[in-house]
Amino acid sequence: MTIQERDKNVVWHPFTQLKNSPLPISIVRGEGACFYDENGKRYIDGIASWWVNIHGHSHPYLAKKISEQLLTLEHAIFSGFTHEPAVQLAERLLKRLPINQSKIFYSDNGSTAVEVALKMAFQYWSNQSISKTKVIAFENAYHGDTFGGMSVGSRNVFNMPFSKLLFDVIHIPVPVKGKEQECLAAMKNALKEQDIACFIFEPLVQGAGGMVMYSEKILDELITLCNNKNVITIADEVMTGFGRTGKFFASDFLQNKPDIISMSKGITGGVMPLGATSSAQFIYDAFLSDDKMKTFFHGHSYTGNTTACSAALASLDLFDKSETFENIKRIELQHNVFRQNIKWHPSLIDSRQLGTILAFEIKTKEHTHYLNSIAENISAFFTSRGIILRPLGNVLYVLPPYCISNIDLQFIYTTIEEFLDYTSTS
Ligand SMILES: *Cc1c(COP(=O)(O)O)cnc(C)c1O
């Protein structure tokens, strides 16, 4: 039996309708920005393996640091115990995070980093016996697949089976170009209610919602409105963190700093699962009490996993070298040149870019977004040419590991152009 047949017998894959689905590609090796399948075919990982990979696959330095950690201390309970990698990672993240951030809470992934942020915000109020339980979030948002994450996310086909079980959230329009005033008005209106606990947002780029972008200026205004009404602000930096947008965090573009920040995806360079939620001192202080009921009763078996923390530290070592941000700038520039060349193509509705994220909205006959059948055609077109791009509905995007070579980037661009020509004639 091939590995694909064995897979079909026993494995349930994420986000995949497994009835009549094409067999998954069996990857045996990764190197730099590429994968190799069992037949030796090379694939450029154009989407950084679901937005997690930063420095390339099977990076020798990361592998060395992680294996050293594994042979020293692989994992330890994190309640009542601590260890150097978790402490050092918190110290080094706080140096990179906005100045108002002062504590790090660890979890395992992006959804849990968001759950932790929401629970911190809700309990911040309940610890002070203030009844505030409502959340403001953007329409079209994605904050993960756990119940809290789904609740604050947009209501769509992905969470429809659970819609009755999700808590109430006030969704306001995304302040894309031309919608800023509508968004501000909706925010002001929402803030008239007394019981708003927090406002959660993906700063500057809504990832899963189709790489939808909006300006830092409007986000600064929204945060000011929240600050004036004592509403906690939560930046979900799970996708935007670790250099994706051209700065270390998307929050670095802002004048007003969020109170809580969720991180995951790129935190370990894409090697190990890890989530982290940072908070401002005033949030943390609201949990300090002689009353045990005010404790933050949240944790995971693998909270602060030693090996994952060591992976994150090794990834930060690479960020400390000038090469990483030089690569980010290089990608940013090339994305921009390509976008300027292609943006009037008749197959495009829109194109957008921030940092290393480049997105194209493609004209289709169907009006549905997420389940648009063009997505499968696009994936197949690129996979056959040795490029991994998985569009979000009709939004095709490139979000590569920062080590991608110019040759591979150019190959992605020329293949996109070929695809656009092909869709405009078919
Ligand atoms: C991917 C993502 C999440 C969820 O992270 P997982 O690790 O997949 O649980 C949450 N928020 C944003 C903005 C994301 O892009």
The residue whose two tokens read 């693998």 is 302
Q: Which residue has its alpha carbon closest to ligand 1 atom 15?
A: 239
- Distance of CA 422 from the midpoint of ligand 1 (Å): 33
Which atom of ligand 1 lies closest to the CA of 112? 9
CA atoms within 13 A on the CB side of 72: 12
Please indicate whether the domains covering 3-58+321-425 and 64-319 agree at the CATH topology level.
no
Per-residue CA distances from 120 to 32, 385, 390 (Å) = 38, 46, 34
Measured CA to CA, the distance from residue 94 to residue 211 in angstroms comes to: 27
Q: Considering only CA atoms, which of 182, 256, 259 is closest in space to residue 224?
A: 256
Pocket test for ligand 1, best of 50, 107, 108, 111 (most atoms within 8 A of CB): 111
- Distance of CA 238 from the midpoint of ligand 1 (Å): 6
Question: What are the start-end ranges of the H helices in 25-162?
Answer: 48-51, 60-72, 84-96, 110-126, 147-152
Q: With the CA atoms of 180, 185, 191 and 196 taken in that order, what torsion angle do they form, in degrees rounded to the nearest 10?
A: -50
Which atom of ligand 1 lies closest to the CA of 237? 13
Q: Which residue has its alpha carbon closest to ligand 1 atom 6?
A: 110
Measured CA to CA, the distance from residue 98 to residue 93 in angstroms comes to: 10
Tokens of 270: 């894409």
Which atom of ligand 1 lies closest to the CA of 264? 7
Give the β-pairing of 357-362 and 275-280: unpaired
Residues having CB closer than 6 A to ligand 1 are 109-111, 114, 142-144, 202, 207-208, 236, 238-239, 264
- Domain borders along the chain are 3-58+321-425, 64-319
pLDDT tens, per residue, the chain with 426 residues:
999 999 999 999 998 888 888 889 999 999 999 999 999 999 999 999 999 999 999 999 999 999 999 999 999 999 999 999 999 999 999 999 999 999 999 999 999 999 999 999 999 999 999 999 999 999 999 999 999 999 999 999 889 999 999 999 999 999 999 999 999 999 999 999 999 999 999 999 999 999 999 999 999 999 999 999 999 999 999 999 999 999 999 999 999 999 999 999 999 999 999 999 999 999 999 999 999 999 999 999 999 999 999 999 999 999 999 999 999 999 999 999 999 999 999 999 999 999 999 999 999 876 555 566 677 788 999 999 999 999 999 999 999 999 999 999 999 999 999 999 988 776
List, in sequence order, every residue forming a beta bridge with 205; answer none if it has no partner. Answer: 213
Phi, psi (degrees; rounded to nearest 5) at 40: 85, 5
Fold of 64-319: Aspartate Aminotransferase; domain 2 (3.40.640)
- Distance of CA 354 from the midpoint of ligand 1 (Å): 18
The CATH number that domain 3-58+321-425 falls under is 3.90.1150.10
Give the β-pairing of 232-236 and 260-263: parallel
Q: Which residue has its alpha carbon closest to ligand 1 atom 7?
A: 110
* Amino acid in the structure at residue 52: V
Rounded to two decimals, what is the model's pTM?
A: 0.97
Given a contact cutoff of 8 angstroms between Cβ atoms, the answer to whether 65 and 314 are in contact is yes
Please state the separation of Cα 252 from the chain's center in Å: 16
Residue by residue, DSSP assigns 145-190 as SSHHHHHHSPP-TTTGGGGGGSPPEEEE----TT-HHHHHHHHHHH
Q: Which residue has its alpha carbon closest to ligand 1 atom 5?
A: 110
